Amino acid sequence: MSLFNDACSSCGTSLLNKLPLVQFHHLNPKLKKNTWYRLRDLANIEKIKQILKKERCKALCANCHGLTSDKILKKYRHEILSKYLLDPE
């Protein structure tokens, strides 16, 4: 957590003793190559930090990650709906 100053990057809530609440948000989804489920089993914390930096992640509490994802969904909802849900004909 020292990579992220032990706090949520958005609201500043301390995450040091709340590791189950930490979520990682990719600032650029195109750089996402790993999931937390892959990273959590790595024994080398320095390797995990290196990957998170390379993939441009920030640490968020669960609340802020949900709000961030909601903002992204609202911004692109028309594109998402037209591409995946609406009948093109």
H helix or E strand, kind and range, residue 67: helix 62-84
Residue 71's pLDDT is 75
Q: What is the pLDDT of residues 21-50, one digit of tens each?
A: 788 888 888 898 988 788 888 878 889 889
Residue 1's pLDDT is 47
Q: What is the dihedral of CA 74, 77, 80, 86, to 10 degrees?
A: 150
The average confidence (pLDDT) of the chain is 80
The answer to whether 15 and 62 are in contact (CB under 8 A) is no
